[in-house]
Structure 1
Amino acid sequence: MVSASQTSHAAGDTLARRGLMFILSSPSGAGKTTISRMLLERDAHIRMSVSCTTRPPRAGEVDGSDYHFISQTQFDKMVEAEEFLEWATVFGHSYGTPKAQVKAGLKEGQDYIFDIDWQGTQQLYQKLERDVVRVFLLPPSIDELHRRLTGRGTDSPEVIAARMERARSEISHWDGYDYVVVNDDVDACFAKVEQILAAERMRRARQTGLIGFVRELMAP
């Protein structure tokens, strides 16, 4: 026989919930892409927001999965038509988050990861503040960040120098985020990010099914 407490617990686990926009930002090399991939692999209730970009695909990237690869002309038309939640130009290429699919998904309880910089974060927060959770990842030191960028073996010394200069600028915006996590160990960092996501999902304002559920509990 199922007890009343068991029934209530089961009902609470299936309450309708509005989705959230989980932003992970960091300087290049500080771990946002790694942590994002770990979340996607281990959490079936979150998906990556697929951005549009004008840069060419890198080896192994798939159009429509990693990015929507479009021309600058197409991108400019989408900007003019206000089809992006946020957009920015980085290292000569444009990036933007399409609006329609994300808004529809949030209503259905879908969570999205956003791997974007502080400028994109500001734009999203200004437009959809209540749906946004902002997390910034810091490297344990500047020397370690430089070591990670060099260890990739994919960029020239000039590109690495440019990324380091940009990293200092990005780090200066750390106080524009809700949570800040130092990524000195990837597993420990991931555990903290998971805890943040779990807590934000339980916010009363996001649990849209609570009103009806509580009314049933209080009914005579």
Structure 2
Amino acid sequence: MPQVDDHLGPADPEKRRQADQAYDALESMIATLQLKPGAAIVEAELISQTGLGRTPVREALMRLVSCGLIVQQARRGLQVSEIRLAEHLDLIEARRVLERLIASMAARRATPPQRQDLLACAQTMLSSAEAGDLHGYMHADQALDRIIHAACRNPAAAAAVVPMAIQCRRFWYAYQHQGDLLRGAQLHLDLAQAIAAAQAEAAQTAADALMDYLRGFAQAVID
């Protein structure tokens, strides 16, 4: 998933890079439940865990608040947001609309290197799934999202879908025992192949199929 920089202001490149690193680290910790739903945010611990300074960590926390992954609780400070089962299906349907748009635009606008990188990430997801390497799978999934969002060249759509994608990734990680890793990897590969081939309609269809998979997975958890 590409990072949205407008929260950072006109910072110098090194400070921006550190803030992005902090955001990536905290996002991954939330998505993989190292920071559990409802957990209190202790800034000093995050600074120690990320190896980054107070300023980039605070910038990252601000961005995560804007994404809804961290919430401000009265008299309790910052906490990781809860996973809300009842709202998750609605989130997927909202994400579906954006993913169709992003997929079709990426198919039309991606550069040749981006098309190659998409295929490489999707293949890594598939090989990780075959090996049962969940960490590798999730890392490649995150990288694939970033490339697609950059390739679509629509920052507004990318910024809107990023929080939804993170919520879906966290939901999947929390209930992975009910998911089919290989099926998920194949659907991501189908999407990457359609975008790489500049087939906008096929990319939309592949995005729909991926959302159908996520909806079916979520429905199985809720039922």
Q: TM-score, normalised by structure 2?
A: 0.28
Q: Compare the two structures and name the one with the higher strand fraction.
A: 1
Q: TM-score, normalised by structure 1?
A: 0.29
Q: Larger radius of gyration, structure 1 or 2?
A: 1
